[in-house]
Amino acid sequence: MGEATANEILLRIEGMRTWFPIKRGVLARTVGHVKAVDDVSLEIRRGETLGLVGESGCGKTTLGRTLLRLEEPTAGSAWFDGNELFALDERQMRPLRRRLQMVFQDPYASLNPRMTVLDILTEAMAFHRLLRGSREEAAVQLLGEVGMDAGTLHRYPHEFSGGQRQRISIARALSLSPEFLVCDEAVSALDVSVQAQVINLLMDLREARGLSYLFISHDLSVVRHISHRVAVMYLGRIVETGPAEAVIDQPLHPYTQALVSAIPTPGRERPKRIVLSGELPSPANPPAGCPFHTRCPEAMEVCRKQFPALHRQGERTVHCHLCLSSQASSVATAGNSVPGPAKNVMKT
């Protein structure tokens, strides 16, 4: 996609940290912190989907929630269309909330079981005084965008399948005409065939509305299909970024290589499976140096002492001491320029 200009960047994060205090004792003294997100810097362009991948517990959801100010950051900055999100109070943040929305993993848990679809879709519009005309007309238009008919207006969430509930969740997120959506494992709880339908819907909406997505998922095959670029997260830190096909076809960081080796890819020779030893360390007590060194099969002495500096090559970035070698640099160069995500639909 080339280097982004300032006008092309919708969201920029610099040095973001979200740490949660660990309190103990009768006086609830702070004895440490859970470093859920630790020194993250990212950019998301207008009309782009950035896929965020990593193991459960690595901080992906916390990053998304912090961007929407559902969690408060400990440090760092985030600019959305020129607005410094973390410097705004609640009153100043309110008009921006219309432009930043979230689609949650579990639609049944995120939809009020006592509200009809009509109420769910128009509640936020009424709160922000955006209703023009009848509630029914506004709700029917939203339902049409997500492939559902007007006959569902007066039904309740429990009357729908998981895929239908997620479509309602997406329609609710669209009700305020946002520019940016955080999709937090939005298809992981759905059957594979339904996943494909929802992914195709999100891609169609992106084209029709000019949306930008932060697409959080543990499924690299889904991420590859929908994303322009990918960021790989490990223990609260971003360890690799780049164009989706380049990162998945030619991963540079050993952790990314391990994730990719677990993907079954029809019609391609599957790389040898890399099995990581040990468990994901606790974010309350992360290892010194590179946080991945305790599980990395290629770890060197320097990895145990020093966090690797950012290694940049074209559109790709990686935090890894190994990638300072000329061999890794040549691999990075080979994967600099790649097309965006496929426009053809995902097979159901």
> Taken in order 58, 312, 183, 93, is the CA torsion positive or negative?
positive
Going by C-alpha positions, the residue among 285, 287, 289, 291 that lies closest to residue 32 is 285
Q: What is the pLDDT of residue 27?
A: 84
Q: What is the pLDDT of residues 206-239, one digit of tens each?
A: 999 999 999 999 889 899 999 999 999 999 999 9
Q: What is the pLDDT of residue 210?
A: 95
Q: How far is the C-alpha of 19 from the C-alpha of 97, rounded, in Å? A: 23
Tell me which CATH code domain 9-99+178-334 carries: 3.40.50.300
Segment-wise mean pLDDT, segments of 10 residues, the chain, 348 residues? 74 97 88 94 97 94 96 96 93 92 90 94 87 86 94 94 94 95 92 91 96 95 94 97 95 94 71 80 92 92 92 92 62 46 49
Q: How far is the C-alpha of 132 from the C-alpha of 122, rounded, in Å? A: 11
Q: What is the pLDDT of residues 58-112, one digit of tens each?
A: 999 999 999 999 999 999 999 999 999 999 999 999 889 999 999 998 888 889 9
Q: What is the pLDDT of residue 342?
A: 47
Parallel/antiparallel/unpaired status of strands 9-24 and 180-184: unpaired
Q: What is the pTM of this model?
A: 0.88
Q: What is the pLDDT of residue 224?
A: 92
Going by C-alpha positions, the residue among 323, 234, 321, 249 that lies closest to residue 283 is 234
- Per DSSP, the three-state class of 13 is strand
